[in-house]
Amino acid sequence: MTSSATSARPFDANDVERYRQDGYILVPDLLPASAVDAFCENEAAQDEAGPRGLQNHRDDDAWSAIARHPEIVTKVSQLLGGSPLIVQTMYMAKLPGGGTGVALHQDTHYIRNEPNTLMACWIACNDTGTDNGGLCVVSGSHKRGLMEAGEVRESDQHATWVNDYGMVDRDGEEWTETMHSHDIHQFTRDQVEMLTVPKGGGVFFSSLTVHGSYANENSDKPRLAFATHYVRDDTWVFRKDLQGMVAA
Contacts of 244 (CB under 8 A, 6+ apart): 55, 58
Query: What are the tens digits of pLDDT across the range 28-68?
Result: 999 999 999 999 999 888 866 555 789 999 999 999 999 99
Contacts of 174 (CB under 8 A, 6+ apart): 166, 167, 168, 240
Query: What are the tens digits of pLDDT across the range 80-102?
Result: 999 999 999 999 999 999 899 99
Confidence of residue 5 (pLDDT cuts 50, 70, 90): low
Checking if the pLDDT of 3 tops 50, the result is: no
pLDDT of residue 62: 95
Confidence of residue 1 (pLDDT cuts 50, 70, 90): very low
Task: State percent of the chain over pLDDT 90.
Answer: 91
Checking if the pLDDT of 198 tops 80, the result is: yes
What average pLDDT score do residues 213-221 get?
A: 96
Spell out where 101-248 has E strands. Answer: 113-114, 119-124, 135-137, 162-168, 174-180, 193-194, 202-206, 211-213, 223-232, 236-237, 246-247
pLDDT of residue 106: 98
pLDDT of residue 2: 44
DSSP letter (8 states) at residue 142: G
Checking if the pLDDT of 247 tops 90, the result is: yes
Query: What are the tens digits of pLDDT across the range 132-147?
Result: 999 999 999 999 999 9
The answer to whether the beta carbons of residues 135 and 125 sit under 8 Å apart is: no
Nearest 5°: phi and psi at 91?
Answer: -105, 125
Select from 146, 147, 132 the least CA-distant residue to 194.
132
Query: What are the tens digits of pLDDT across the range 154-189?
Result: 988 999 999 999 999 999 999 999 999 999 999 999
What rounded mean pLDDT belongs to the chain?
Answer: 94
pLDDT of residue 52: 74
Domain boundaries, the chain: 3-247
Distance between CA atoms of 21 and 96, rounded to whole angstroms? 34
3-247: CATH topology is Jelly Rolls (2.60.120)
22: part of which helix (H) or strand (E)?
Answer: helix 13-22
pLDDT of residue 98: 87
